[in-house]
Amino acid sequence: MNILLEIKDLNVSFQGNETENKNENKSENKKEIKNETKKENETGTVTAVSCLSISIREKETLALVGETGCGKSVVAHAIMRLLPPESRVRGTIEFGGKNLLGLREKEMAKLRGKEISIIFQNPSLALNPVYSIGNQLAEPLRIHGQEKGKGKEKKKTEALSKVAGALKRVGFSNPHEYMGYYPSWCSGGMNQRFLIAASTILDPVLLIADEPSKGLDRDRVSELENEFKGLKEKSETALLLISHDLGFVRRLADRVAVMYAGEIVEIADTSSLFESPRHPYTRGLLNSLPERGFVPIPGLSPPLSSPPAGCRFHPRCNVKEKRCMQEHPKLKESNGRAVRCFLCP
């Protein structure tokens, strides 16, 4: 399969408070890049994502997993170019031969929703409470001018039929009834399905799902899983699945990338990762699962404003060596998987 999206050396940082920013800007031109990391840390700048490189193949489901605050959602927002203006993004995100980070906002707006779409966390907040579901589902069609060059009535009929089709695809057998509903009338699970319908109405080639199962009960998670499976069968869409629900990831993903403190620490195909995890953090993460007795990883993840020297996981690692505390390991690739650890073969 061809590569659909390739992220190379992505760095995303957020500046600290205003005074700190001023100091940083003053000294920025004078200092060399090497010194920048140290300076950023001293001034409270948080580097949420460091030197991240991953690729997503056509029709593939790639899962991004890791602890809360490790930078998973920041990667999704960087792809969509939805990060706040105060963020500093470096590296490249190549999609369809273009570097998304180099596109003008107008060009990016043409891709957003049509070629690359996102399902945000918390469906109740992602939907507008004052517009009907039908209206919100038709929005991507209006924005991307799907109905151009036709009469008003014909456009409306076509839009309605597409919205109905999208609702049917996510399991609403009576779509015209649900088009008149408002988000507050519906459960979290229903709103999540409306969001999936809205995000896939234009058949994007890449769908990003940011914690889609968060806060849903077991039955709703199972429904959601079926939605994604159905979507993959019916369309050519590739999926970037961001989740901390490892069971959900295991059942859906083709490959899994594990993130820790802003870095990728392991990438492998799903069965290899769950059956023979290599990085000590991945092993710890899997041991925290209910079926393995909720064994916690000792300690806390480091603040991204001042990650430890050497391997970022070393303060919590039970197999660390002297070298792990001094040198920062690189992501080593072999036999289709990659691990960032000196102690892994």
Interface residues with other proteins (CB under 8 A)?
A: 65-69, 187-189, 214-220, 244-246, 284-285, 288-291, 294-297, 300-301, 303
CB of 136 or CB of 301, closer to other proteins: 301
The distance from CA 274 to its chain's CA centroid, rounded to whole angstroms, is: 20
Residue 104 zone, left/alpha/beta (φ > 0; ψ -120 to 50; rest): beta
Report d(CA 345, CA 329) in Å as an integer: 13
Orientation of helix 218-234 relative to helix 152-169, angle to 10°? 120
The residue written with tokens 């489901």 in the block is 61
178 in Cβ contact with 189 (< 8 Å): no
If the CB atoms of residues 10 and 261 are measured against other proteins, the closer one turns out to be 261
The tokens for 272 are 């290899």
Four-CA torsion 124, 125, 129, 135, nearest 10 degrees:
-90
Among residues 155 and 214, whose Cβ is nearest to other proteins? Answer: 214
Nearer to other proteins, 49 or 93 (CB): 49
Least separation in angstroms between residue 239's CB and other proteins is 19
Q: How far is the CB of 219 from other proteins (least distance, A)?
A: 6
Q: Are 81 and 108 in contact (CB under 8 A)?
A: yes
Question: What helix, strand, coil percent values describe the chain, rounded to 5?
Answer: 40, 20, 35
- Report, in Å, the least distance between residue 263 CB and other proteins: 16
Quick count: other Cβ atoms within 10 Å of Cβ 293?
Answer: 8
Name the minimum Å distance from CB 257 to other proteins.
15
Strands (E), 145-262: 206-210, 238-242, 255-260
Q: Which is nearer to other proteins, 271 or 306 (CB)?
A: 306
Maximum Cα–Cα distance across the chain: 72
Query: Cβ-count burial of 264 within 10 angstroms (0-12 exposed, 13-18 middle, 19+ buried)?
Result: buried
Q: Give the residue with the Cβ less far from other proteins, 232 or 340.
A: 340
- Those residues with Cβ within 8 angstroms of residue 97's Cβ, 6 or more apart along the chain or in another chain: none
Tell me whether residue 159 or residue 258 sits nearer to other proteins (CB atom). 258
Q: Is 119 or 186 the residue whose CB approaches other proteins more closely?
A: 186
Shortest CB 69 distance to other proteins, Å: 4
Q: How far is the CB of 66 from other proteins (least distance, A)?
A: 7
> From the CB of 244, what's the least distance to other proteins, in Å?
3
Nearest distance from C-beta of residue 78 to other proteins, angstroms: 19
